[in-house]
Amino acid sequence: MNETLFGAPYDFRLAGDGLVQDGFEANLTALIEGAVAKNGNRTVTLIGHSMGGMVATYFLAGKPADWIERHVGGLMTISSPYGGSPLALQGSISGASIGLPIMVHAFLGIQDNSPSGPWLYPSQGLWNASVPMVRTRNKSYPPTAKGFADLLQDLGRREQSIILPRVRNMRGIDFDAEGGPSYPR
């Protein structure tokens, strides 16, 4: 009793579907159900920072409404990139520290093939498709499906190329909907 604060670390390399496959979602479900049971059936509040907010939202999108009603009273997201970020593109190209005290080039070896990279690419519905988001001396990459695909091809990121179209629309969450990302109704 009196245990009211619980942590749920996830593998940040994975996108939402990968977190289902590696057992995170089942573990989080059990953690929440246990927390509710330990605390007199009080519902929990999920709190996620940055990508953690995306993970929490994706988690809830896979739960039946009555399960949420019985177990989750609220969601707090902090600094969550619901419309993606240009720095996710940088992560695929050259590594990005995203504000953390890490060596960027060492991090690149993790970021360049992680499914979470394309999951956090900028939402095509939020940005002007005619304005390049990434440029080299002789090529431009706009924030469009083709722009992202061209970029990954030029980087030789085969795994992320395969993953890209899949992670942009999962569980009814369409990251590239016109007007910005669209979540289930």
Residues between 117 and 176 that touch other proteins (CB under 8 A): 122-123, 126-127, 131-138, 154-155, 158-159, 162-163, 165-166, 170-172
Residue whose CB is less far from other proteins, 79 or 146: 79
Count residues binding other proteins (CB under 8 A).
100
**Amino acid in the structure at residue 67:** W
**DSSP string of 79-115?**
S--TT--HHHHHHHHT---TTSSS-HHHHHHHHTT-T
Distances (CA, A) of 161 to 17, 123, 132, 157, 158: 16, 16, 19, 6, 5
| In the complex, least distance from residue 64 CB atom to other proteins, rounded to whole angstroms | 7
| In the complex, least distance from residue 4 CB atom to other proteins, rounded to whole angstroms | 5
> How many residues comprise the chain?
185
DSSP-assigned letter for residue 182: B
Q: Which 77-116 positions form the footprint of other proteins (CB under 8 A)?
A: 77-87, 89-90, 93-95, 98-100, 105, 108, 113-115
Q: Which 18-77 positions form the footprint of other proteins (CB under 8 A)?
A: 18, 20-22, 24, 27-28, 31, 36, 40-43, 45, 47, 49-50, 53, 57, 60-62, 64-66, 68-77
Tokens of 162: 């395969």
